[in-house]
Structure 1
Amino acid sequence: MPDLPQLLLFVAAGWLLNLTPGPDVLYIVSHGLRGGARAGMVAALGIVGGCFVHVFAAAAGLSALLATSATAFTVVKWIGAAYLLWMGVKLLFSRTGRLNLGDGAPPETDLWAVWRRGFLTNVLNPKVALFFLAFVPQFIRPDAAHPALSFLLLGVLFNLNSLPINLGYAWLAAWAARRLHTLQRAMGWMDRAAGALFIGFGLRLAFTDHPSSRA
């Protein structure tokens, strides 16, 4: 596990990244606006449930990933760095976020369906797995005795850390249905802040050496 300053940075980065408008946030907000706070919160729980699947799957293979050849490590490193930089530039130069309020359909009453769709949307999105593999290992010490366990604990912390943000989005959407202009402006500023953060992490990952090269 990282030391306290790194852990606090991890928590702060997690909050900022979860504040960033994206497909998950739009799914939560859409259901919050159309179905009220309960539907939005159930949508948030479905999203977080899908994230846990990616964390457990990534943790199961992390030991083999870190023990592989320097060439394979470099390939994965550059893929992760390119993804983070692409996301950062996209967010940094995006226009103010727009909320997709759907097609005017009636509020969702089947909460199980709301949860299930949120869960499957995340589980079936390979970008979520790539995000965890690119982001979380940067907070694991190169000499960690149990890197897979550290990854698992940090991944669980990231997901639990996201709950207040996601549930807050659900409540805010239900409360601010008639104040969308103000909400969209706030989303635009969060886009840019998170974009700068993504670019920073992408550059950090790009200049990371394979652990064996530090020996």
Structure 2
Amino acid sequence: MIPFQDLLFFALAALILVISPGPNMIYLISRTITQGRKVGLISLSGVICGFLFHIVMVSFGLTAVLFAVPYAYTILKTLGTFYLLYLAYQAIKPNSKNIFEVDKNIKIDNPRKLFSVGFLTNVLNPKVAVFYLSFFPQFIKPEYGSVLVQSLELGITQVLVSLSINFAIVLTAAKAATFFANNPLWVRAQKWFMASVLMFLAVKMALSKAK
């Protein structure tokens, strides 16, 4: 089992990454603002199931890779560092889109399709798999027991954090959109704060040592 303090730090890192805008967040906000909370919640259920799919695949993959490939940890650490730096750049790049600026003409779909699109949006998003493969090894240590169990433990933690934040986003999307539309300074401040935190995580990951 992973020590509580390590798990707590991972949860904090997962929180920072969850609130970093990406396809899942944009999809949920778009659906919620244009079609209401019920549609947003159905879409969220699909997104969460997509996370579970990635967790199972990556957990078994990490168990195989970390034991079978020399220097796998270094490769994954490097990949994770560049991934976090990429997210930081995406947060502050010129003309980056405000995630609350959505297409008002999205048609209403039935619940089954809403779930399916949310699921596929997550499953087919390579950034999610890259995050798991590059970030999980930073918190996994052989002395804590089974790599598979530790991976699943981290995955469940990440899903709970993601579910909590995205659920709050669905409930408050319309109000948040109005607030940010009337306070553009907050949007710029949020982007730079996000970039700073992501860069900090990237540096920490780059300096971490193999287990």
TM-score range, shorter chain: 0.7 to 0.9
Query: Are residues 16 and 208 of structure 1, via their aligned partners in 2, closer, same or farther at CA, if it must alter by over 3 Å?
Result: closer
**2:21 equivalent in structure 1:** 21
The offset of 1:99, in angstroms, is 2.7
**2:41 equivalent in structure 1:** 41
Deviations 1:159-211 (A, max 9, x none): 12211211111111244564451476555444333322322232233233443
Stretch of structure 1 that moved more, 7-16 or 162-171: 7-16
SS in 2 for 1:104: coil
Q: Which runs of 5+ in 2 are unaligned?
A: none
Query: Are residues 174 and 109 of structure 1, via their aligned partners in 2, closer, same or farther at CA, if it must alter by over 3 Å?
Result: farther
**1:89 equivalent in structure 2:** 89
In structure 1, distance between residues paired with 2:135 and 2:54 = 13
Query: Are residues 207 and 65 of structure 1, via their aligned partners in 2, closer, same or farther at CA, if it must alter by over 3 Å?
Result: farther
In structure 1, distance between residues paired with 2:21 and 2:182 = 14
Deviations 1:72-117 (A, max 9, x none): 44333322221222222332456572434225244x2412211110
**1:104 equivalent in structure 2:** 105
Stretch of structure 1 that moved more, 188-197 or 14-23: 188-197
**Is the CA contact 2:180–2:187 (under 8 Å) kept in the aligned structure 1?**
no
- What pairs with 1:114-125 in structure 2 (closer than 5 Å)? 114-125=114-125
In structure 2, distance between residues paired with 1:194 and 1:180 = 16
Query: Are residues 71 and 47 of structure 1, via their aligned partners in 2, closer, same or farther at CA, if it must alter by over 3 Å?
Result: same
**Is the CA contact 1:88–1:195 (under 8 Å) kept in the aligned structure 2?**
yes
RMSD value, Cα: 2.5
Stretch of structure 1 that moved more, 88-97 or 164-173: 88-97
In structure 2, distance between residues paired with 1:110 and 1:191 = 34
**1:79 equivalent in structure 2:** 79
Query: Are residues 105 and 86 of structure 1, via their aligned partners in 2, closer, same or farther at CA, if it must alter by over 3 Å?
Result: closer
Query: Are residues 157 and 72 of structure 1, via their aligned partners in 2, closer, same or farther at CA, if it must alter by over 3 Å?
Result: closer
**2:68 equivalent in structure 1:** 68
In structure 2, distance between residues paired with 1:45 and 1:190 = 27
Stretch of structure 1 that moved more, 136-145 or 32-41: 136-145
Stretch of structure 1 that moved more, 202-211 or 44-53: 202-211
SS in 1 for 2:143: coil
Q: Which runs of 5+ in 1 are unaligned?
A: none
The offset of 1:155, in angstroms, is 0.5
Tell me the TM-score normalized by structure 1. 0.84
The one-letter code sitting in structure 2 at the alignment partner of 1:208 is S
Q: Percent identity among equivalent residues?
A: 29
**1:191 equivalent in structure 2:** 191
In structure 2, distance between residues paired with 1:164 and 1:71 = 35
**Is the CA contact 1:62–1:148 (under 8 Å) kept in the aligned structure 2?**
yes
Tell me the TM-score normalized by structure 2. 0.85
Query: Are residues 184 and 16 of structure 1, via their aligned partners in 2, closer, same or farther at CA, if it must alter by over 3 Å?
Result: farther
Number of residue-to-residue matches in the alignment: 210
Deviations 1:7-64 (A, max 9, x none): 2222222223222222111100000011101111111221111111111100011122
